[in-house]
């Protein structure tokens, strides 16, 4: 309590309480109402633009108890950021404590809750034949259900959501106005009489009669593709245990190899498909219900085509009542592929007409409903790495929950990068990291990016006076930022990666930041991607890096790892012409003329920018091992290399590859050129692929540890940030983090902000915003 309660009476007093945080749409006002009535206090509670305001009066001991209970007994989905209780000499009017109509205006400072998985109470009612919502696909209460995906503006009241078109029936209205009911002031409240309904359609859009869920289950069991409208967008679903069904979906979606997410009914079923730790189970069943990456269990009935060549699979549990009902249908496949309902490089569909138009060639049938999705929200993806839950894609369940910034940061819009785009809005030292937007490579994705910025600004009632973006001048996000009529701060790509961790972890710096990823605009004519920075909010200095490799063909090298294999061989032996006798058999599928032309390009320095990219080094090794010559999705080569490395035990990896580090100016450089000869030697000796893959991982870790020792002796710094897309490699991250701790370094990395480019905008906002304070 901010101040001691004072009163002209020694026995009674009054308070005005302001509460900020996620306190709208989570049953907070009903909670306050019930608490006040239990204690016999007078007054009122109201939603406003800043959060929740309470005017309360009564005996002093009970007021003390009231404030303490507000802090300690808040609803499960509430999140109190600040509670300010101040005495007032104006007591509330005598009478029963009331909930007042929401107030507009004021200084906007409220937070909107994310979409929340259906709660246990609603599930019990869903499968209770005696309940009036028995098997109703849109059951919800104040503790669960849609939030961010249906809200248009604040305050969070039904007229400001897409539920405004569903007037409450008498029974639902009675619940809504009953302070003792779980649905008291639950804005999405509905039932079969007054709420949204399902419908079943063919690909021509014709409505078909029958039990929608039974028809969907039958179509899936027969190998069909069903488009399902969910919470924040559409899924495309098929039988995850049918190779034929998975292949059909891949053909139609033009997604030949990228891993597909799986939805299974419960934890017991999940354990048939994957190895689950207690942390995995907790994450799967959390209110956020993300997709969780876990090691696949050998011998499981899952189709190999779900994640070809990989050892990890992404599982999620049903998070809406619709999903629960679908997986409860007789004959339903026990594992459903649930992949984003979109075409390649397009945002997920949200509208019924949009889905019928864009997905008609992909799906055989459509399971629709008539509740509008206001904003797209894809599924979140997480993985337990180094004992911590780390988001790889931040979306449903997590956005738009803000991160509290512990250092002064100006209000700012940060526009993120080109791949795995997200944006970030800082309002009063709170960073609202958007839901996953995706690749800004097409008109539809760019429109989604702009629409999402406008929506979040409307929900937050803020228009930041500053903007930040990546240094790369050709990113659409950078062009958008520069097109705004406000000061623009450019933030170097890898500095932003480090900045995201500084923001989330509340670090002052300076720190030593190891950033390993695929690409980043360096500003010195090279492509960054394997860097060691000394960094803080004020700037950065590169102290170390991977040695440069040619990038033959520029950006095309990222799509064709065989090019990087030749680049590594060229770095190891830069002869003027290619000696075919030195090439491993793994490159035989590539035409000799192509290989010779590429070698000549490197020898002459034609269209071969230099790169220190760790991602491209992974590509080179994967291609030399024959794992991936042409990538079918981003990161495929590195993911395959990681999987094979996990198949080898540490004892089989001796002898280790030697590490060479040299100085170039003021930078320490890890020399990757000798790797070429080491890899060729092992290939010639028929060393198993898994052993070579693991030796490479251990070489990289040893090289980074030696680099850190040298830099530590120069700087004395022992706080280390690990960032960049390559750090999603569980084997690499955990091995490196363990070795760093053994060397007395403190290790920090992203958890709520992705380590990949999905977290860039947070770093841009934190670093760019510090310059505007």
Residue 48 is among the residues annotated as catalytic for this protein: no
Report if residue 390 sits inside a domain.
no
End-to-end CA distance of the chain: 30
The domain total for the chain is 4
Reference 162, options 146, 176, 177; nearest CA is: 146
Q: Evaluate whether 461 touches 478 at the Cβ level (below 8 Å).
A: no
Report if residue 2 sits inside a domain.
no
Look at residue 10 in the predicted model and tell me its pLDDT. 55
Domain of 78 in residue numbering reads as: 12-99
Report if residue 378 sits inside a domain.
no
Residue 47 is among the residues annotated as catalytic for this protein: yes
Look at residue 577 in the predicted model and tell me its pLDDT. 83
pLDDT level of residue 6 (50, 70, 90 thresholds): very low
Indicate if 222 and 266 belong to the same structural domain. Answer: yes
Report if residue 463 sits inside a domain.
yes
Buried b (16+ CB within 10 A) or exposed e, 605-614: eeebbbbbbb
Indicate if 640 and 689 belong to the same structural domain. Answer: yes
Look at residue 500 in the predicted model and tell me its pLDDT. 98
pLDDT in tens, 218-248: 999 999 999 999 999 999 999 999 999 999 9
- The C-alpha atoms of residue 644 and residue 521 are separated, in whole angstroms, by 31
Look at residue 655 in the predicted model and tell me its pLDDT. 75
CA angle 113, 115, 117 (to 5 degrees): 125
pLDDT level of residue 27 (50, 70, 90 thresholds): confident
Indicate if 190 and 228 belong to the same structural domain. Answer: no
pLDDT level of residue 651 (50, 70, 90 thresholds): low
User: Is pLDDT of 682 > 70?
Assistant: yes
Question: What would the mean pLDDT of 529-535 be, rounded to a whole number?
Answer: 98
Indicate if 406 and 332 belong to the same structural domain. Answer: no
pLDDT level of residue 106 (50, 70, 90 thresholds): low
Indicate if 530 and 406 belong to the same structural domain. Answer: yes
Question: What would the mean pLDDT of 547-568 be, rounded to a whole number?
Answer: 97
pLDDT level of residue 7 (50, 70, 90 thresholds): very low
Indicate if 39 and 55 belong to the same structural domain. Answer: yes
* Residue 144 DSSP class: B
Residue 499 neighbours by CB under 8 Å, 6+ apart: 491, 535, 537, 762, 763, 764, 766, 767
Report if residue 4 sits inside a domain.
no
Catalytic residue among 16, 29, 596, 741: 29
Indicate if 345 and 490 belong to the same structural domain. Answer: no
Question: What would the mean pLDDT of 679-701 be, rounded to a whole number?
Answer: 96
Indicate if 630 and 526 belong to the same structural domain. Answer: yes
Q: What is the pTM of this model?
A: 0.94
Question: What would the mean pLDDT of 261-271 be, rounded to a whole number?
Answer: 98
- The C-alpha atoms of residue 761 and residue 414 are separated, in whole angstroms, by 5
Indicate if 95 and 188 belong to the same structural domain. Answer: no
User: Is pLDDT of 4 > 80?
Assistant: no
Look at residue 108 in the predicted model and tell me its pLDDT. 66
- The C-alpha atoms of residue 550 and residue 544 are separated, in whole angstroms, by 18
CA dihedral 727, 730, 731, 737 (to 10 degrees): 60
Return the bridge partners of 699, or none.
none
Look at residue 1 in the predicted model and tell me its pLDDT. 43
Report if residue 105 sits inside a domain.
no
pLDDT level of residue 47 (50, 70, 90 thresholds): confident
User: Is pLDDT of 110 > 50?
Assistant: yes
Indicate if 123 and 72 belong to the same structural domain. Answer: no
Look at residue 180 in the predicted model and tell me its pLDDT. 82
User: Is pLDDT of 378 > 90?
Assistant: yes
Report if residue 381 sits inside a domain.
no
Which CATH number is 55's domain given?
A: 3.30.70.100
Look at residue 101 in the predicted model and tell me its pLDDT. 86
Question: What would the mean pLDDT of 94-113 be, rounded to a whole number?
Answer: 80
Which CATH number is 473's domain given?
A: 3.30.420.40
- The C-alpha atoms of residue 613 and residue 526 are separated, in whole angstroms, by 10
Rounded mean pLDDT of the chain? 95
User: Is pLDDT of 539 > 90?
Assistant: yes
Report if residue 382 sits inside a domain.
no
Indicate if 168 and 239 belong to the same structural domain. Answer: no
Rg (CA), the chain: 28
Which CATH number is 161's domain given?
A: 3.90.870.30
Indicate if 443 and 493 belong to the same structural domain. Answer: yes
pLDDT in tens, 577-630: 888 878 999 999 999 999 999 999 999 999 999 999 999 999 999 999 999 999
Query: If DSSP states are collapsed to H, E and C, what string results for 282-335?
Result: HHHCCCCCCEEEEEECCCCCCCHHHCCCCCEEEEECCCCHHHHHHHCCCCCCCE
Catalytic residue among 34, 47, 135, 189: 47
Residue 73 neighbours by CB under 8 Å, 6+ apart: 31, 35
């Amino acid at each position: 309590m901010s101040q001691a309660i004072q009163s002209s009476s020694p026995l009674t007093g009054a308070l005005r309480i302001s509460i900020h945080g996620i306190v709208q749409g989570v049953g907070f006002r009903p909670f306050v109402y019930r608490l006040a009535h239990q204690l016999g206090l007078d007054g009122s509670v109201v939603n406003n633009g800043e959060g929740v305001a309470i005017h309360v009066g009564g005996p002093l001991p009970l007021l003390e108890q009231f404030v303490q209970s507000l802090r300690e007994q808040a609803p499960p989905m509430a999140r109190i950021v600040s509670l300010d209780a101040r005495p007032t000499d104006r007591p509330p009017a005598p009478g029963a404590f009331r909930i007042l109509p929401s107030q507009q205006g004021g200084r906007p400072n409220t937070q909107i809750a994310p979409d929340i998985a259906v709660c246990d109470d609603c599930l019990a009612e869903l499968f209770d034949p005696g309940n009036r919502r028995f098997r109703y696909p849109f059951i919800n209460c104040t503790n669960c259900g849609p939030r961010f995906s249906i809200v248009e503006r604040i305050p969070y009241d039904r007229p400001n959501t897409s539920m405004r078109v569903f007037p409450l029936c008498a029974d639902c209205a009675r619940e809504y106005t009953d302070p003792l009911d779980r649905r008291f002031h639950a804005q999405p409240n509905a039932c079969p009489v007054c709420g949204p309904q399902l419908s079943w359609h063919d690909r021509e859009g014709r409505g078909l009669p029958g039990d929608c869920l039974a028809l969907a289950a039958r179509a899936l069991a027969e190998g069909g593709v069903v488009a399902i409208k969910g919470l924040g967008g559409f899924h495309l679903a098929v039988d995850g245990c049918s190779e034929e069904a998975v292949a059909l979906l891949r053909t139609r979606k033009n997604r030949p190899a990228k891993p597909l997410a799986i939805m299974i009914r419960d934890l017991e079923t999940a354990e048939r498909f994957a190895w689950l730790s207690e942390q995995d189970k907790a994450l799967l069943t959390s209110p956020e219900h993300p997709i969780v990456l876990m090691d696949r269990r050998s011998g499981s009935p899952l189709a190999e085509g779900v994640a070809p060549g990989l050892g990890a699979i992404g599982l999620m549990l049903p998070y809406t009542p619709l999903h629960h009902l679908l997986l409860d249908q007789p004959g339903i496949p026990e594992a459903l592929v649930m992949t984003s309902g979109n075409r390649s490089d397009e945002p997920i569909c949200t509208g019924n007409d949009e889905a019928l138009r864009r997905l008609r060639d992909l799906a055989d049938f459509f399971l629709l409903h008539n509740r509008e999705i206001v904003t797209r929200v894809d599924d979140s993806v997480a993985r337990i790495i180094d004992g911590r839950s780390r988001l790889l894609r931040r979306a449903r369940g997590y956005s738009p929950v803000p991160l509290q910034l512990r250092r002064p940061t100006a209000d700012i819009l940060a526009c993120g990068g080109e791949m795995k785009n997200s944006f970030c809005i800082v309002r009063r030292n709170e960073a609202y990291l958007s839901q996953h937007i995706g690749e800004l490579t097409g008109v539809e994705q760019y429109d989604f990016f702009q629409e999402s910025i406008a929506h979040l600004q409307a929900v937050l009632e803020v228009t930041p006076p500053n903007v930040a973006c990546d240094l790369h001048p050709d990113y659409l996000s950078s062009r958008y930022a520069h097109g705004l009529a406000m000061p623009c701060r450019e933030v170097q790509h890898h500095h932003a990666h480090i900045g995201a961790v500084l923001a989330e972890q509340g670090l002052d710096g300076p720190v030593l930041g190891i950033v390993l990823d695929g690409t980043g605009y360096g500003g010195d004519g090279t492509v960054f991607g394997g860097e060691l920075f000394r960094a803080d909010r004020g700037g950065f200095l590169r102290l170390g890096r991977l040695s440069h490799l040619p990038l033959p063909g520029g950006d095309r090298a990222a799509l064709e790892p065989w090019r990087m294999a030749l680049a590594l061989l060229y770095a190891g032996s830069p002869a003027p012409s290619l000696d075919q006798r030195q090439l491993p058999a793994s490159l035989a599928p590539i035409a000799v003329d192509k290989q010779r032309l590429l070698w000549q390009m490197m020898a002459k320095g034609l269209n071969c920018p230099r790169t220190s990219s760790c991602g491209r080094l992974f590509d080179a090794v994967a291609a030399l091992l024959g794992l991936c010559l042409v990538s079918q999705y981003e990161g495929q080569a590195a993911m395959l290399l990681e999987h094979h490395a996990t198949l080898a035990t540490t004892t089989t990896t001796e002898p280790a590859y030697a590490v060479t580090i040299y100085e170039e100016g003021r930078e320490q450089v890890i020399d990757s050129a000798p790797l070429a000869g080491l890899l060729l030697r092992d290939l010639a000796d028929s060393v198993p692929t898994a052993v070579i893959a693991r030796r490479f991982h251990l070489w990289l870790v040893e090289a980074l540890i030696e680099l850190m020792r040298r830099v530590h002796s120069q700087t004395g710094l022992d706080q280390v940030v690990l960032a960049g897309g390559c750090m999603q490699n569980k084997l690499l991250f955990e091995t490196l983090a363990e070795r760093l701790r053994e060397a007395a370094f403190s290790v920090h990395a992203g958890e709520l902000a992705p380590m990949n480019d999905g977290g860039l905008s947070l770093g841009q906002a934190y670093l760019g915003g510090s310059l505007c304070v």
